[in-house]
Structure 1
């Protein structure tokens, strides 16, 4: 006999666990399915190489689901300044929290900190069931509900099935939803480094011919780097000794943080532009990377996913309060209209910027630098970009608002 839930969420990462918390604390019967249970504690060192720059809007969402206090206890790293410059021109951009009503632009948080804190919260909610270790073997979607077959043969049913299982989403494929996109032929090389100079709670980003190099300030004084490189260069750098890698990194950084002193484990991940052609099917919805994968140059992937989670949770909660069916076609189409346009706008902006900085024609490089400096000197335009990057824009889900 199939067990029935109001909502089943597959994928217990940042986005899926946030949606689960938001729904369960509103009294909606949910099940969260994941292949494993994430760790709750770990040694102080090394820092996890998977780090997200969370915006003010994302912080609001995580506060609303009551995960933020545990995140602060485990450790979050505020940053109040961002300095961006072009290696091939005189262009610079500076963003400062002093130009906003907030004390910081955002927070750098290890992904494991966010996930552990969300699971802590989820386990306190009586309307949440966590099913692990478990994988989905098959799904059937019809006009009345979603049916799930797990790899152990058990079956589940829900009014709505939410797929939060990443950019290679198995559920998206099982639902027959196609994607559009391309490989960037670039890798994001990530690591944690110690530098001679303190990061000054500043996110530093230098645009280089192969892609941007970012130094993201961590709470312990180290920096998390995200270095976009061609696939060939990234693999070459992965094979270097620590000493040789640090020499290349110091040269690429233009010495902005002085000598590169040490580096932890390195990882390199292929980058992709990808979006689902539809976000929904019968009683089925995609959120997070299952719906969209974007270039990491502005660190907006996790933030876009959190807005997806907040949006679908708001719509489901409002439908339940109004006595309407939570898996209706009307509700799912409303979610897709709400989030798809915003996500595509962000993705396309990141794609254009990435391609723009790969152009090596001299005249274009100078024009690019002039444009950066003009934006930097234009108070209202820079403030618009700053607030947009912080997630402070129109049409935010209620969970994301102050």
Structure 2
């Protein structure tokens, strides 16, 4: 397409890209696309005052080194660094509640790679307001809050999105960042493949007496894993997986009784523990969209894939989507291509499909291997932990994978501008 024709199409559009969903992935994608010179409409059904609250509610995110690089490339990391807790060490062990871990513990030390910490824990109360503030200051982003996208009509030169207040806006591309039940995907005729796990994740912030020294712990128990992730100060974030009915019963307990059940699982290595924020419960499932793209539509984050939190890679996978889609779309825009054409969007899908499938298989396999008390499987997995621990090359590769430093990384995840 020649530049004159492309400019005619753009001039007839309200925006280059419309993003349905204003969560972390949607906000980051808006900033990434705007950094590449595109005009973006961000449609968020949650009012901005609700979304941007600065109170600490216990939610935190494990960001890989690559995700930190993306936030740095978008100019966000300087404002987040002081509140971010580096993850300096990861210790993985197998065991049962009240008996402690197996002696075969696998340890990943950040000193084994050159790039610094493997990741950082960032609290929602810091990350979300930083994104919203950056969006508010970016003239290329129009944030429309308190309404949702209720309809989409792709056509030859673009897509018309209908909003819940009756307005219609036009763009060349609509991106669904609207979660695992994505209405954007459903309207585009994209189905999903997956299944529910008989497990829920219990999430909370925990205060403790002793310093954590930047160490993250993953303790595998028959009911499911318990992740203990360091936060600033003597606090940590837990992701505690339990069988669904058990998790529902725990959710109904008062705080003191909840802690009484947690203590034998958590152990006493950090001293006495207490709740330091609200408690959350999430059902767990594996779900992958059969396609990440359709004419004039692309899917990002949970709208494209949702995996078990066993490796803490959910948000990191979404940010890889953000970096990949933004790079494909911005590069196509600079070449004068129509960014909503299916052949352009297939480049994004091909880039992400294998990585997402591999992550889904790995997290599903680890959950099935470790979430049981079969003595034969216990012996196999303990031997596996011991083997990896005694092979420096394999251990270093696993560290780099966890840090997001392997594979064909988008420019933003290398810390470079788009």
State the TM-score, normalizing by the size of structure 1. 0.95
> Quick check: 1:9–1:30 contact (8 Å CA) kept in 2?
yes
Matched, 1:19 2:32: no
Matched, 1:253 2:266: yes
Shift of 1:42: 2.6
- Find the residue that maps to 2:179 and give its secondary structure: coil
1:7 to 3, 17, 29: 17
For structure 1, the 5+ residue unaligned runs are: none
Determine the C-alpha separation between the residues in 1 that align with 2:169 and 2:190: 21
2:59 to 45, 50, 53: 50
1:69 to 71, 78, 81: 78
> Quick check: 2:62–2:122 contact (8 Å CA) kept in 1?
yes
Aligned residue number for residue 314 of structure 1: 327
Counterparts in 2 of 1:241 and 1:321: CA distance versus 1, 3 Å: same
> Quick check: 2:152–2:162 contact (8 Å CA) kept in 1?
yes
Matched, 1:231 2:244: yes
- Find the residue that maps to 2:404 and give its secondary structure: coil
Shift of 1:39: 4.7
Considering only aligned residues, what root-mean-square deviation do their CA atoms show, in Å?
1.6
> Quick check: 1:8–1:161 contact (8 Å CA) kept in 2?
yes
- Residue by residue over 1:80-131, the C-alpha shift from the partner in whole angstroms, topping out at 9 and shown as x without a partner, is 1111100064431101111111332211112342221112112222211111
Aligned residue number for residue 388 of structure 1: 401
State the TM-score, normalizing by the size of structure 2. 0.91
Once the two structures are overlaid, the 10-residue window that deviates more, 240-249 or 93-102, is 240-249
Aligned residue number for residue 115 of structure 1: 128
> Quick check: 1:196–1:259 contact (8 Å CA) kept in 2?
yes
Determine the C-alpha separation between the residues in 1 that align with 2:272 and 2:127: 31
Matched, 1:337 2:343: no
> Quick check: 1:83–1:203 contact (8 Å CA) kept in 2?
yes
Counterparts in 2 of 1:98 and 1:272: CA distance versus 1, 3 Å: same
Q: How many residues align?
A: 397
Shift of 1:301: 0.4
Determine the C-alpha separation between the residues in 2 that align with 1:289 and 1:245: 29
Determine the C-alpha separation between the residues in 1 that align with 2:150 and 2:381: 49
- Find the residue that maps to 2:137 and give its secondary structure: coil
Aligned residue number for residue 375 of structure 2: 362
Counterparts in 2 of 1:40 and 1:263: CA distance versus 1, 3 Å: closer
Shift of 1:40: 4.2
Determine the C-alpha separation between the residues in 2 that align with 1:6 and 1:124: 18
Determine the C-alpha separation between the residues in 2 that align with 1:234 and 1:13: 26
- Residue by residue over 1:153-173, the C-alpha shift from the partner in whole angstroms, topping out at 9 and shown as x without a partner, is 110111111110111212111
Determine the C-alpha separation between the residues in 2 that align with 1:324 and 1:13: 28
2:43 to 26, 33, 42: 33
For structure 2, the 5+ residue unaligned runs are: 1-11, 97-101
Determine the C-alpha separation between the residues in 2 that align with 1:209 and 1:242: 24
